[in-house]
Chain A
Amino acid sequence: MNRNTVVWVVVFGLGAAGLAWRAAGTGMGSQYVRAIEVHAASKTGQQFTWTRYDDAFPKDRGQPDVALSTPRTLGVWVAALMTLGAFSFLFGDNPLFKLTQAIVIGTSAGFAVCVGFWSTVVPMLMGRLHPEFVRSWAAPGMPPDQQTEWIALVPLALCLMLLWRLAPWGGWISRWPLAFFIGLTAGLRLVTFFKADFVDQVANTILPLAVMADGRFDPWATLKNLAVLAAVLATLAYFLFSVEHAGAMGRAARLGICVLMITFGASFSLTVMGRISMLAARLQFLFDDWLWLIDPLNRRTGL
Chain B
Amino acid sequence: MIPGWLKNLDRRWIFLLMFLAVSLPQLFGVSFPERPSRKVLDVFDAIDGLAEGSRVLMAFDFDPASEGELSPMASAFTRHCCEKKLKLYFMTLWERGPPMVQKALDIIASEHPSMTYGTDFVNLGFKPGLEGVIRNAFSNLHVDFKTDQAGNSLHDIALTRELKSLREMDLLICIGSGSPGPKEWVQYGAAPNAMRMVAGVTGVQAPQLLPYVPRQLVGLLAAIKSAAEYEQALIDRYPQLARVDQAKEGLRRMGPQLVAHVLMVLLIVSGNLVYFLGGQSGDAP
Contact = CB atoms under 8 A, between A and B. Distances in A.
A193 B192 CA distance: 10
B152 A141 contact: yes
A242 interface: no
Interface string B128-146: 1001100100000000101
B15 A274 contact: no
| Size bracket, chain B contacts | 35 or more
Contact of A283 (B15, B22, B144): B22
Contacts of A250: none
Nearest to B69: A277
B151 A139 contact: yes
Contact of A279 (B22, B206, B212): B22
Interface string B247-262: 0000011001100110
A117 B154 CA distance: 22
Given A146-B146, A192-B192, A296-B245, A280 B95 contact: no
Nearest to A283: B23
Name, among A116, A123, A276, the residue most crowded by chain B CB atoms within 10 Å (CB to CB): A276
B216 interface: yes
B68 A282 contact: yes
A101 interface: no
A92 to B, nearest CB: 8
B230 interface: no
B75 interface: no
18 contacts: A90-B12, A123-B147, A195-B192, A196-B212, A203-B215, A270-B206, A272-B264, A273-B257, A274-B202, A276-B256, A276-B257, A276-B260, A278-B66, A278-B68, A281-B68, A281-B69, A294-B26, A294-B27
Given A124-B144, A200-B191, A201-B211, 7 more contacts: A123-B147, A141-B146, A272-B264, A276-B22, A281-B71, A282-B68, A283-B22
Which 9 residue pairs spanning A and B have beta carbons closest together? A281-B68, A270-B203, A274-B203, A196-B191, A141-B151, A141-B147, A277-B224, A192-B187, A196-B187
